[in-house]
Chains A and B, each alone.
Chain A
Amino acid sequence: MNLNATLFAQLLVFFILAWFTMKFVWPPIMKALDDRAKKITDGLAAADKAKTDLALAEKKVVEELRKARESAGEFRTSAEKQGGVIIDEARVEAARIITQAREAAEKEAGAAAQRAKETLRDHVAQLAVAGASQILRREINPQVHAELLANLKRELS
């Protein structure tokens, strides 16, 4: 428990070591610690942001899928509707064509029958004239008896 000049030497050593620590040990370590703290903060913030972004993206994906499904449904409905319209139109058109064709055919048939009737009437008139002339034994002038013949034709029709 003796005191001697060691005390002063130790005092000096203590201050030199403290100065050395202040100069060369403390600042670099503190800087490293602060930088790391900043890095970790930034990393956590980035992770949070990524999480938010992911959630947003997922929400968007769901929304887009829903939209796509909706519009596909719309497409199908309108296509079905349009298809129905086209079929209906075609049906109407077909019916119209059929009716037209039938009418034309009937008209044609009517005309043909009329023509045949007229021809037949002519023949019959001639036959009748020929028969009558034979019966009367005298020639009937067609120009003179045209009215008579026309009347006869009318009666036959």
Chain B
Amino acid sequence: MATGHEAAAQHAPTASEYIVHHLTHLNTSGHAQNVIVDWGLFNLDTLFWSILLGVLGMFLFARVASKATSGVPGRLQAAVEIIIEMVNTQAKGIVHNAESRKFVAPLALTAFVWIFLMNAMDLVPLDLLPLAWQTATGNEHAYMRVVPTADLNGTLSLSIGVLIISLYYNLKIKGIGGWTHELLTAPFGSHPLLMPANLALNLIEYVAKTVSHGMRLFGNLYAGELIFMLIALMGASLSASFTGVSLFAGHLIAGTAWAIFHILIIVLQAFIFMMLTLVYIGQAHESH
């Protein structure tokens, strides 16, 4: 399994080492990934936590769904119904095609619930799960990141999934001819000289949409996690001095404040991702 900084073996980690260690994924290579892109590696921690949360979340929903009654609902069923009703309302307002909604609305629900659960891992005490993992493996430098949405792979895979589905609906609704025509003639016009510009702009638009879609979620969660680490470093500076005690108190106050604020962030980001998923797929249904 992965090993941490060899240099950190003999002394307590510095602030920089602490943060770098926390931001390194447990992957299949046995060490930290040292190039920007390496298609031969898997991030085991991202896969484990995202699949675990996805399966748990969907299992819970499926369980509620299988027992769903049209009579008086229990509290759990009512909660699930509120979420589904919310997603359904948004889907109806954005995707004006009942047939497409049969897949798109559940897709949006999946995105919302899954992203919310993955984001919520940010609220688990920062060092708890990494420490448990390090204790379990007996390697005090083992890597473990528990927030799959703070991994660019996790968020870009979602946004690329949305891109693929929106391309599919472009083809399905407009046909290959209609879509090609749209790519070549919108937004500037159908003059042949404008076609390259139109095509280029459309391609850029698709790339920009997809990258910003994934990056927005990643950036929020990555930054949130980083701030939790900085707050944790304040608490780590506890000593008998006035500064040490003040920093510890600062940790308590800032940590509480940031965690409460983060409750908003994790829901909001999941909601934004879901809404943009619907918007992008809805755009695939509309002609320019």
Binding site for B on A (CB under 8 A): 1-11, 13-15, 17-18, 20-22, 24-36, 39
CA distance in complex: A33, B33 (Å): 48
- Is B68 in contact with A28, judged by CB distance below 8 angstroms? yes
Kindly state whether residue B125 has any CB partner on chain A within 8 Å: no
When distances are taken between beta carbons in the complex, the residues of chain B under 8 Å from A31 are: 68, 70
- Is B156 in contact with A3, judged by CB distance below 8 angstroms? yes
Kindly state whether residue B14 has any CB partner on chain A within 8 Å: no
When distances are taken between beta carbons in the complex, the residues of chain A under 8 Å from B46 are: 6, 10
Kindly state whether residue B110 has any CB partner on chain A within 8 Å: yes
- Is B41 in contact with A30, judged by CB distance below 8 angstroms? no
- Is A7 in contact with B157, judged by CB distance below 8 angstroms? yes
- Is B85 in contact with A33, judged by CB distance below 8 angstroms? yes
CA distance in complex: A15, B103 (Å): 11
Number of A-B contacts (CB under 8 A): 142
Looking at the complex, which one of A15, A25, A33 makes contact with B61 (CB distance below 8 Å)?
A25
Looking at the complex, which one of A2, A13, A26, A30 makes contact with B35 (CB distance below 8 Å)?
A2
In the complex formed, the residue of A with least CB distance to B88 is A30
Report B159-217 residues with CB < 8 Å from chain A CB: 160-161, 164
In the complex formed, the residue of A with least CB distance to B103 is A22
Chain B's nearest CB lies how many Å from the CB of A12?
A: 9
CB-CB nearest 6 A-B residue pairs? A35-B70, A10-B157, A6-B153, A32-B68, A22-B106, A4-B41
Kindly state whether residue B62 has any CB partner on chain A within 8 Å: yes
- Is B37 in contact with A3, judged by CB distance below 8 angstroms? yes
Q: Interface of chain A, helix or strand or loop or mixed?
A: helix
Chain B's nearest CB lies how many Å from the CB of A116?
A: 114
Chain A's nearest CB lies how many Å from the CB of B75?
A: 15
- Is B71 in contact with A36, judged by CB distance below 8 angstroms? yes
- Is A36 in contact with B70, judged by CB distance below 8 angstroms? yes
Chain B's nearest CB lies how many Å from the CB of A23?
A: 8
Kindly state whether residue B36 has any CB partner on chain A within 8 Å: yes
Chain B's nearest CB lies how many Å from the CB of A28?
A: 4
In the complex formed, the residue of A with least CB distance to B154 is A10
Instruction: For the A-B complex with A11-B160, A13-B50, A29-B64 known, give 17 more contacts whose Cβ atoms are closer than 8 Å.
Output: A2-B33, A3-B153, A4-B33, A7-B153, A10-B154, A14-B110, A14-B157, A14-B161, A20-B62, A21-B61, A22-B103, A24-B62, A25-B109, A29-B65, A29-B68, A32-B70, A32-B73
- Is A6 in contact with B65, judged by CB distance below 8 angstroms? no
Looking at B35, B42, B81, B157, the one whose CB has the most chain A CB atoms below 10 A away is: B157
